[in-house]
Chains A and B, each alone.
Chain A
Amino acid sequence: DQQVKQNSPSLSVQEGRISILNCDYTNSMFDYFLWYKKYPAEGPTFLISISSIKDKNEDGRFTVFLNKSAKHLSLHIVPSQPGDSAVYFCAGYGGSQGNLIFGKGTKLSVKP
């Protein structure tokens, strides 16, 4: 049973445009959601997070939106840059899990 779903395996965007990466979850007990970015042959690095009591968190070019009623969150990157090309993982935490639950990832390609 997938508690965190990233239904788009890949996304291609033109440099300078907006990238929107989506994530759905089923576990209503999640307290926090996190986004990680992973380049090939490297470990994931933390990008941005949001508490379940908020609906938006912004950090520079990156904004995460949370819609609790829809159990949906999204990561917006504006403007997109070629260096943003990576795999992005959404993760949820909370309740009885004791550890992060990751989605399968979305590979973002930003074309110059």
Chain B
Amino acid sequence: DVKVTQSSRYLVKRTGEKVFLECVQDMDHENMFWYRQDPGLGLRLIYFSYDVKMKEKGDIPEGYSVSREKKERFSLILESASTNQTSMYLCASSFLGGTNEKLFFGSGTQLSVL
């Protein structure tokens, strides 16, 4: 079974702090993604990556950056956390070039910024 592991289930941070959210997948997937989920807004794509050291902006990249130094690991960085970044963050991975782009999600990190 594919396993996508997010380092924390719950995080509480203060406004202005730098926040790192870590994600590791064990299926040698090329593609990795970061989404946030907010009530009434669904799943919104923040950033994604098709390869090591490669990144692409999603729909809402402002206030975020990412790092992909190794194939299995994709980190989301909040340079200076703000209260409007309180959300459920979901990491996902998939194969590149598959005929069916099925995403495998981690369990999510519920981030609260106070």
Q: Is A14 close to B, CB under 8 A?
A: no
Known A99-B33, A102-B42; contact A44-B90, beta-carbon cutoff 8 A: yes
Q: Number of B interface residues at 8 Å Cβ cutoff, please give it.
A: 27
Q: Is B60 close to A, CB under 8 A?
A: no
Interface centre among A43, A100, A105 (most CB of B within 10 A): A43
Contact across chains for B105 and A44 when beta carbons are under 8 A apart: yes
Known A104-B41, A104-B42, A105-B42; contact A42-B107, beta-carbon cutoff 8 A: yes
Known A32-B101, A49-B100, A49-B102; contact A41-B43, beta-carbon cutoff 8 A: no
Q: Number of A interface residues at 8 Å Cβ cutoff, please give it.
A: 23
Chain B hits for A9, CB < 8 A: 40
Chain B hits for A51, CB < 8 A: 100
Contact across chains for B58 and A34 when beta carbons are under 8 A apart: no
Q: Is A25 close to B, CB under 8 A?
A: no
Contact across chains for A41 and B100 when beta carbons are under 8 A apart: no
Chain A hits for B58, CB < 8 A: 99
A87 to B37 alpha-carbon distance, docked (Å): 11
Contact across chains for B90 and A43 when beta carbons are under 8 A apart: yes
Q: How far is the CB of A83 from chain B (nearest CB, A)?
A: 18
Contact check: which of B4, B40, B42 meets A89 at CB < 8 Å?
B42
A77 to B48 alpha-carbon distance, docked (Å): 32
Known A43-B4, A43-B108; contact A100-B42, beta-carbon cutoff 8 A: no
